[in-house]
Structure 1
Amino acid sequence: MDSTEGLYTYAPLPSDHIRLLNLHPSPDPSAPLQGDLLTLPLFPSPSAQAAPFSALSYVWGPTLPSPSSNQNLTTPTGVIRLTPSLFSFLNRLRDTSSESLLLWADAICINQLDPYEKEAQVSLMADIYRSATQVLADLGEETDGTAVALAAIAEYTRAGVRRGITAKGFGKLLSPQDTARFLDLPLPAEDDVETEEETNRAMNPSAEVTEAVIRFFERPWFTRVWVVQEFVLARAVQMFVGKTKVSWQQLLGSGILFNGMPMLVQESVSFTMREIWGMMSFLCMAYIRRIRTLNSTEDGREFVSHLASLSDGRLLQFYQDPGLASLLHYLRMCRATLGRDRYFALLRLASDVTDEDWAELRPDYISTDDAIVRRYARVLIRKKGAAEMFMRAGLWRGTNTSNPELPSWFEDATHEYDQAIMDLTVEESIHKAAGDSEFVVGTDAEIPDVIWVKGHRLDTLREVCPAYALPKENTSSTMLEELQQVLFGYVRKAVETLLKFSEDENEPLRPGPYLTGEELADAAALTVCAYRGVDALSREALFKGFWFMCLAVMGLGADWNNHQGSFRYQWSDEMEGEIGDSIEYYCNELGVVVNGNLLPAVTDKGYFASGPGACEGDEVWIIQGCRIPILLRPNNEPEYGGRYRLVGTCYVHGVMSGEALQHPDFEWRDVSLC
């Protein structure tokens, strides 16, 4: 028999219409799935009542429908083959009594063999998920660790609401009332007393619990790029693991740091970035969804304004008003069968995509990936968030992975990138290297890969610290041990580069003032950790952590207590606890630096700098409208002579607050980038 015999035949869909699956009930859970497909207008006339339906959010999975499989949906006019994941979800959703379910599922309701219909329906998907009465999200089947993970998440979040979100969340400690409101969870009643056992479990999660939570968020649903709009745009969301219902608000709480509590995944540093990306991706989309729902009411908008007033508001502004370039950056590690789907899946979430942009940005499965990247670059460089987009791009990030001729000033999101959230532009800071200037960009239709910006050339990198790598004979068993070695190795090489060892054993580090009049050692301490300048960080605490760390990694310790230079902290056995705490404090600030591949450097004029992928000869520029200095690399290729390639953002000690604008030789001039 022909493998296509008896298959359902799709009739063409009228414009702005969708198909819905009417899934029949069955008292026998093992009975074949049965239903019929209805064709309905997505936007009914005002006098017509829209049919209430639920939209499914699930992962297709690596296994496609097989002709020999019995995982099918039977309709009156033919059979539709299903992927194992969708077959499983429909079986779990199917009512065993007498109620039919009206559902929208892309694998069934879109003719996957018709590229024209697929393109039209993909363009309507945001409206479909907005129109559904609810979105049913399938996180997959239950596993051995599911119950442990869900119990720990519920207990941790409940305990956290009582204590409030720490100042690291919004810039100021949130009250339990505000915390409950933000998470959309009930505030525990006063007489609902937390037991000592519950407190201990929440405050001291075991390795088994941490492992179970991390593995729970490794489920493919959390990193599939198409689920982002499905989840964010939904009127209501109900999640399922097996047949168990899961609260997405509690899942959001699992990744939040509450006052006086360690994170539930406090051992996450022993996992790779890819292993924790599921949680990071979900937190991003959950924040966007929560701020979006709050902004749907006047009372909620006032609450969001209150949250924004507690900090510089940059990340909150992203969650509240996400531009397409920011979405592409923060969700760049999300998986997609086709790289270009990262662009198309996020289009309808972006606040800055207009009807006029649609012709350039619409889903396109015919053009090459490089053509799509260039098309998006030309549109987004003209948007309000262009300066932030510009600062997040650069050669260090692998912008030109697929084609070295792609513009360096735009991220190529067709490729996954697991360090998307680790860089200077993400961290909260008070940097204003270009003052209050406005980002000005020029383009030329004849040369689409080239832009012009206004900038001031500050200096050139003279010496760059070599990247630190673990020795080949390293036998560390955990990522935490490797991270400790990297941090210590990084600091040692950084100090050797910035301060230089002298031949005098009693003066191990170079004395003297920095360009700003500070001690060189203090300038080095802040440069090595790319000092953010936020009030929450104590400069004195950073200096102490830096110096104790230097003494530890250089093996100097108590032998250097007689140093007469800038060292002002004494090392002694009695101070073991304080020394350890200081070093841990400084190491915490090194996380973004190390993960962001920042390399300390010294410029021709004596500035201390730290930039990703830096090389000797790279130039430091202050770019109009950019709060962080930029590293540019001269491009000597004949067709691009006189133009630069963007390397990345760069911390430069002594110019992060706009000091360069006061230099006698300061002036803005055009600089061309390709």
Structure 2
Amino acid sequence: MATNREGLAGRASSAIETYRYRYPAILPNQIRLLRVAPGLFTSTLVLALKVVSLQKILDEEFEFQALSYAWGEDKAENIVQLSNLPSNESGSATQDTDFDVSIWKRSETFPIRQNPFHALRRIRLVDSYTWVWVDAICMDQSNDDEKSEQLQKMLKIYSSAYNVIAWLGEDDGAGSDVCRAIDLIPNILNLKTLDLMLRNRLPNQQEALQHWKAFGRLLQRSWFSRHWVIQEVACAWRLSVRVGEHILSWQDFADAIDLYSKNIDIIRALPGYGTQDDNGTGDHEVEESSAMALIEMSRNVFRREQDTRAMSRLMTLEMLVSTASGFAVTDLRDIVYALLYLANDRYQAAATRVSGRSQVLRADYSLHVVDIFINFVGHCLQRSGCLDVICRQWAMWPESRRDTTHEGRTLPTWIGVAVFAKTPTEALLHPMDNIVGTAQHRVYNASGEAKIHASISGSILQADGILLNLIYEVSDPIREGIVDDRCLRMLGWRGDVSEEVEENIWRTLVANRRSSGTIAPAWYRRACALALTMLEPNRHFDTTRLMTGNHLPSTVVEYASRVHKATSNRRVFHSTNNSLAWAGLLSESADSVVGLGPPNIKRHDMVCILFGCSVPVVLRQIVPRNNAELWSPDFPSTDVVLVGPCYVHGHMEEGLLMKQDTDRIRSKTVTLNLH
């Protein structure tokens, strides 16, 4: 049968005019399913689209699979034959050869990318039709209106499919590399065998090391870092993993990733693991990789009812977007839209009124990406009643700077960027410590119970707050775990180990928190004092040396580790309100305070507490070209840019606001225009 069909295809193709397939319109309550005709692996892919009602999909009248894959960076140059099935066509696979000829005569050439092309060739059966949903083909990608409409249905499509295929790609050509990785999975899942491998007790341990490395390389495939995969995996009723000709159970694969990640430090310590492979590739990070992030997110997005397809959403959109900031997208708009319909707060009543925003966020691919980002921030402000989202890095920007235009627009400073065009991949895996915490858990409470008062107009966020201090001295950025002598002196260290270490030193170095987010314990003072007796000859505090030093007390190691994380890529700053009455708008805080700020802070930047924001922020005045003076009483401009969140010793737990009565706070409140 397959051989005859292949010959038929060859005869028909010579009569087909080579032009692009064009999509007919579909109704809002319809989707398209793709029928893959049987054929040999190397034969032409013969595909046909059938329009069906979404309700029939939900009622399980059609059995189909859904494809989950990474789009890739290649162009759509792999040609398939694509046609439309009549609207009254049966959902079952037809064996009518005469009808096949008529379908062929109506088919047209259609180019697709390499990944879906290879996946469809692997999915195709030899002797029967198969039905599948593939976004690149089943949706008209050139029609923004259709994409906006169809996007809302993807959750239902993936949850209604009898199987979701996670396509990781073909074998990489290294011959046995994928086989090594797959052969390792049963050994990982056999806990007794795993224990022997981790203890270096196997007779063929060197071969086992190559399997470990191959498995690590498999987890670096682009599928794991794709935004859309989060939804596709989380929604799947049943999921299988395909790599070339290999088919794996998702449950087994996910458990293997879990166990691999849990034991990665032991694996790296195995004799011979640190040496390079024969092909020159070395070790790969995994504990903070997209593979582990995907596993965690897919388990936490929904709560499933037992033995049913019913699902309860567990995460807000802000949680989803901020957690997925390390995942990649082909279309920047999908940073928000790929997660929009997983959120549990899309239709909830607003927690607070933020003017200028619509009540319900909808996918609209006709919007500029900047407007989508702005709408997302407005949504978060409405739903959470909190400004913390402006302090998180979650967006992507295709230029090297936010003030470089993309499609005629620049990016407001209150939209946090996790990835610029030239951001290296390793920066995603090891980001600066997030001082603001997660959307689920605040670390600080600088603004106390002060209610957010904010509005968005165009690209300007207007918010109320209290100006604290002017920054007058900044250190160099702290790199590679070295807190230099100048930083220590700015914090108040005078080099005398006989004196008690002051709070502004030992608490600021760790941002007054443990790694868990709880308040730094009092014994950190003793650990800091001991660590300060171990400074380098140049008086620098080398956290890396203290973290890895042998025979050091565990308390010192813990403290140094926290200093390393809290200070990495930050600057120490001094701020003061001396001579800065600024028309009575500056708060009456201490004469001088110290803190940790982002690497781009400068002298004359202003520290501010915005109402509804859990951490202080650093702002920079926008100065007209004809006026170079900063924060002058003669020019009290409230047009500012957001530099970033900061730690200010003594101002992280609503201390300033608690000391003021309501009238005093009102008199010091400033309305700021964040550009």
2:88 corresponding residue in structure 1: none
Q: Distance in 1 between matches of 2:395 and 2:195?
A: 53
SS in 1 for 2:341: helix
**Distance 1:365-1:193 versus aligned 2 partners, 3 A rule:** closer
Q: How does 1:16-415 map to 2 (within 5 A)?
A: 16-26=29-39, 28-44=40-56, 50-66=61-77, 76=104, 77-78=106-107, 79-96=109-126, 98-143=127-172, 144=174, 145-150=177-182, 195-200=195-200, 211-249=213-251, 250-251=253-254, 254=257, 262=265, 280-294=289-303, 296=305, 321-354=314-347, 361-384=361-384, 386-392=386-392, 400-402=402-404, 406-411=411-416
1:577 and 2:560 aligned: no
Deviation at 1:410, TM superposition (A): 2.9
Any residues of structure 2 matched to 1:239-638 within 5 Å, and which?
239-249=241-251, 250-251=253-254, 254=257, 262=265, 280-294=289-303, 296=305, 321-354=314-347, 361-384=361-384, 386-392=386-392, 400-402=402-404, 406-411=411-416, 418-419=427-428, 422-426=433-437, 431-434=443-446, 436-437=448-449, 439-443=451-455, 449-453=460-464, 455-468=465-478, 486-487=480-481, 489-499=482-492, 508-509=495-496, 519-520=501-502, 523-533=504-514, 534=517, 540=523, 543-544=526-527, 547-548=530-531, 551-554=534-537, 577-579=550-552, 584-595=557-568, 597-604=569-576, 605-612=591-598, 613-637=600-624
Deviations 1:82-111 (A, max 9, x none): 322222111222234x44321011222223
Question: Which is worse superposed, 619-628 or 532-541?
Answer: 532-541
2:638 pairs with 1:655:
no
Amino acid at match of 1:55: A
Which residue of structure 1 lines up, in the alignment, with residue 665 of structure 2?
Answer: 667
Given that 2:573 and 2:596 are in contact with CA atoms closer than 8 Å, whether structure 1 keeps it comes out as: yes
* SS of alignment partner, residue 56 of structure 2: coil
2:640 matches 1:644: yes
- Rate the CA distance shift 1:114–1:432 in 2: closer, same or farther, 3 A: closer
- Cα 1:239–1:193 shift into 2, 3 Å: closer
Deviation of the 1:197 alpha carbon: 3.8
Q: 1:340·1:414 contact (CA, 8 Å) conserved in 2?
A: no
Shift of 1:230: 1.9
Q: Are residues 412 and 353 of structure 1, via their aligned partners in 2, closer, same or farther at CA, if it must alter by over 3 Å? A: farther
Residues 56, 103 of structure 1: 8 Å contact kept: yes
Bigger share in helix: 1
The one-letter amino acid paired with 2:31 is: I
Tell me the distance in 2 between the aligned counterparts of 1:394 and 1:114.
27
Q: Structure 1's 254 and 395: CA in aligned 2 closer, same or farther, altered over 3 A?
A: closer
What secondary structure, in the 3-state scheme, does the structure 2 residue paired with 1:450 have? Answer: strand
**CA distance in 2 between partners of 1:652 and 1:264 (Å):** 41
Cα offset, 1:44, TM superposition: 3.2
Q: Distance in 2 between matches of 1:543 and 1:150?
A: 50
Cα distance in 2, alignment partners of residues 438 and 457 from structure 1: 14
Cα distance in 2 for residues equivalent to 1:429 and 1:361 = 23
Q: Distance in 1 between matches of 2:533 and 2:257?
A: 35
Look up the match of 2:89: none
Structure of higher CA gyration radius: 2
- Residues of 1 paired with 2:539 and 2:521: CA distance? 25
Count of matched residue pairs = 573
- CA–CA separation in structure 1 for the residues paired with 2:396 and 2:21: 50
Whether the 8 Å CA contact 2:463–2:611 is kept in 1: the answer is no
Matched-pair contact (CA < 8 Å) for 1:646–1:673: no
CA contact under 8 A between 2:395 and 2:417: conserved in structure 1?
Answer: no
Judge conservation of contact 1:545–1:579 (CA < 8 Å) in 2. Answer: no
Aligned-pair CA distance for 1:348: 1.4
CA gap of 1:544–1:245, structure 2 versus 1, over 3 A, is farther
- Once residues 591 and 247 of structure 1 are traced to their aligned partners in structure 2, the CA distance between those partners, rounded to angstroms, is 40
User: By how many angstroms is 1:157 displaced?
Assistant: 6.7
Where does structure 1 lack aligned partners over 5 or more consecutive residues? 160-191, 305-318, 470-485, 502-507, 514-518, 561-570
> How far off is 1:57 after superposition?
0.9
Deviations 1:433-479 (A, max 9, x none): 3375154123265x6613223x343333332211246xxxxxxxxxx
Secondary structure, counterpart of 2:550 in structure 1: helix
Structure 1 pair 394/140, CA: closer, same or farther in 2 (3 Å)?
Answer: closer
Percent identity among equivalent residues? 20
Asked whether the equivalents of residues 165 and 241 of structure 2 are also in contact (C-alpha less than 8 Å), the reply is yes
Cα deviation for residue 51 of structure 1 reads: 0.9
What are the superposed Cα offsets for residues 636-657 of structure 1, whole Å, 9 maximum, x if unpaired?
3489922433222222233333
Instruction: Label 1:606 to 1:94 Cα distance change in 2 as closer, same or farther (>3 A).
Output: same
CA pair 360-354 structure 1, distance change in 2 beyond 3 A: closer
Q: Residue 255 of structure 1: CA displacement? A: 5.5
- Residue type of the partner of 2:511? A
Give the TM-score, by structure 2 length: 0.70
Unmatched runs of 5 consecutive residues or more in structure 2 = 1-13, 84-102, 277-282, 350-356, 577-590, 628-634
